Structure 1
């Protein structure tokens, strides 16, 4: 889902100042791509990297972890609204149209003695109906629950070292698909209004990493070209060191590229090298996940993955346009997960028998065991 993107676009439509105030763009330092970041070392977030290879690093936008909860609350609000409308119809409108009144299991021909029920239906119940409709409107439109349904399932942010471009997939009403020049981006590490910082710190509210694209002309009142990219920080609480470390990881990848095969055991906090091969724990599935995959990545069971699947049934998976050439010859994670470094996707494909024999060998060489590699070689 795209709650943060939706919130920003709505603020930006009101005014340029509102959009900047929402993320405190002008009230904090913004880190350029050629500056050493604020983090002591890099931070590799779990469950938010689609793929990483020598050409591109692709990450998810925030919102996947709360989509099931938002879906359950949205459905509860919608069902409550429909129930109120049904009661109002049975007590107020149905007697006038068909001469009968009903309420739940009660159904009788309308008589003059029932006039108080009709009056109550057109006054008290109509008030509750209006309140329910307004609540549903605020839930779906005001608070962004609409982004959980009938839109791309997740956002995709691809950092391409070869083209030095950043490719973003998101719904049109949340900013639309865009291509940004890497060198113009600036990192915002505290993406919330300054007045809310005590609340964020006190209640440990998890925050994403925000990359700010300034307007092409600083003196342009309309701020043409101004935009932001939200990137999942994969934290359950406010963790500013992790957000800064995530930015440093992305920056190091784009500026230096992978420089070591794997992260060494007991790496110090100041470790700043980017590994070529990420463990599965850092990867997320690239595609429409199954119920079992939802349970694995959400680390919960039963009802929340069910709500996630319900939302997914109305969504589609976003794909990068071929004209963008965003993969730089590597291939898409959905088509060539082993070559693209899409670890979680490759694991799922292997279980489903979708990998070729050559890809099976390469998968075991990079992420498997010696025994598994020998078995694949045979």
Structure 2
């Protein structure tokens, strides 16, 4: 489910006029100068680097991990979309039945049957048009899109590549030295107990891009230490190489029926462990027996109706001898209307100097 990525990109790329129509106000992140200035690639945050994953590739040149927020809710939009698609398909089915009966001369009232068949066909065609014209903004969050967001860390080029759908910002390239953790920091922020993925951020203070790019990596977890352990694993891989690090178990890009099971079952287990009421246990029984299989099936259907595209050639060859280094993402890589929205949203990413109490002008303001 790419609703998190979509909302982040939508909020950072829409034009001022659209924002006014939707009554969306600008919000200030107020990042502290000490946080955005810090070189997070050198700071160790854990003595227990762990590869939690899922990982798709791991070698001397790069590692690749699954990205995407709210993967544990994947399947909901799929079932909703299937339900919506059933309306035009049902219309076509009835039209086919009537046409078959007319062909076999099974009905006597031919005029009324032809009229009913035409009504079913017209209604179904209109519904199909509405689905592809408007409802696609909903079903593309899980269907007929990229199967999984991927994040590749290339230690040879010292770059990070993020592969996302175009409506979530598309594929981007940033320097490893510009990375920041999003779930913990010097300000004391802590995502412990929130069941979130590990967030990484590329702030405009370092990248020069007008807005921040954020992406979630790995699995959802309730343990704040998991974020630090996996961050430390990636950090040491990029800085020191794969030696002295545990080799991660690699996952497959292909659809598998059990892929969605872990993400859906872990919140239920967490709720059961932390519940002190018998009522909660009774409520969890139908969830395990009914909702869990439904969610898992929806996840699998979503995977089957999506595809995993290849990286661009320049990224596939990045790090190989004699091959060019991919160009870092800039504002000019986007269409003019998107550029306008990004520029109008850049003021949301101000940086506050905690010593002076004033905002830092780093070229991201008028």
Normalising by structure 1, report the TM-score: 0.53
How do 1:1-378 and structure 2 match up within 5 A? 1-14=1-14, 21=27, 24=29, 26=31, 29-30=35-36, 32-37=39-44, 39-62=45-68, 63-76=70-83, 78=84, 82=87, 141=137, 146-189=140-183, 204-215=193-204, 224-237=209-222, 239-260=223-244, 274-275=245-246, 277-278=247-248, 280=249, 283-285=250-252, 287-291=253-257, 302-326=293-317, 328-329=319-320
On the 8 A contact 1:284/1:297 being kept in 2, the answer is no
Contact 1:45 1:233 in 2 (8 A): no
Conservation of the 8 A alpha-carbon contact between 2:197 and 2:221: no
8 A Cα contact 1:44 1:246, kept in partner: yes
Q: Distance in 2 between matches of 1:214 and 1:67?
A: 28
Shift of 1:216: 6.8
Structure possessing the higher relative contact order (Cα contacts under 8 Å, 6 or more residues apart) = 2
Call closer, same or farther: CA 1:25–1:258 in 2, change over 3 Å.
Answer: farther
CA contact (8 A) 1:59 1:158 kept: yes
For 2:209 and 2:197, locate their aligned partners in 1 and report how far apart those are by CA, in whole Å: 24
| Matched position secondary structure for 2:302 | helix
| 8 Å contact from structure 2 (residues 62, 154) kept in 1 | yes
Unpaired runs of 5+ residues, structure 2, are 92-111, 113-129, 266-287, 322-366
Q: Shift of residue 161 of structure 1? A: 0.6
1:310, CA displacement in angstroms?
2.4
Residue of structure 1 in register with 2:270 after alignment: none
- How far did residue 181 of structure 1 move? 1.2
| Secondary structure in 1 matching 2:200 | strand
- CA deviations on 1:185-242 (whole Å, 9 max, x unpaired) are 2222259xx9xx99x76xx432222322233789xxxx735342413241343x3222
| Secondary structure, aligned partner of 2:242 | coil
Measured after TM superposition, the shift of residue 79 of structure 1 is 6.8
Q: Secondary structure, in 3 states, of the residue corresponding to 1:252? A: helix
- Residues 226, 65 of structure 1: alpha-carbon distance in 2 compared, 3 angstrom cutoff: same
Q: Is the 8 A contact 1:154 1:318 kept in 2?
A: no
CA distance in 2, matches of 1:150, 1:159: 26
**Against the structure 1 CA distance between its residues 19 and 211, is the aligned structure 2 distance closer, same or farther, given a 3 Å change threshold?**
farther
8 Å CA contact 1:158–1:168 kept in 2: the answer is yes
CA spacing shift, 1:235–1:324, aligned 2, 3 Å:
closer
Question: Does structure 1 retain, via aligned residues, the 8 Å contact 2:182–2:200?
Answer: yes
Write the distance in 2 (CA, Å) between the matches of 1:25 and 1:231: 21
Contact 1:48 1:233 in 2 (8 A): yes
Q: Counterpart in 2 of 1:271?
A: none
Q: Is the 8 A contact 1:149 1:314 kept in 2?
A: yes
Residues 77-103 of structure 1, C-alpha deviations (whole Å, 9 max, x = no match): x379x59xx9xxxxxxxxxxxxxxxxx
> For the Cα contact (< 8 Å) 2:179–2:201, is it kept in 1?
yes
Structure 1 CA distance for aligned equivalents of residues 27 and 162 of structure 2: 23
CA-to-aligned-CA distance 1:120-150 (integer Å, 9 cap, x gap): xxxxxxxxxxxxx9xxx7x975xx6531012
Post-superposition shift, 1:255?
0.8
Q: CA-to-partner distance for each residue in 1:1-60, whole Å, 9 max, x for gaps?
A: 3222111101112489989959x56269455334314x3334535342112111111111
RMSD: 4.3
| Kept in 1: contact 2:219–2:263 (CA 8 A) | no
SS of residue matched to 2:75: helix
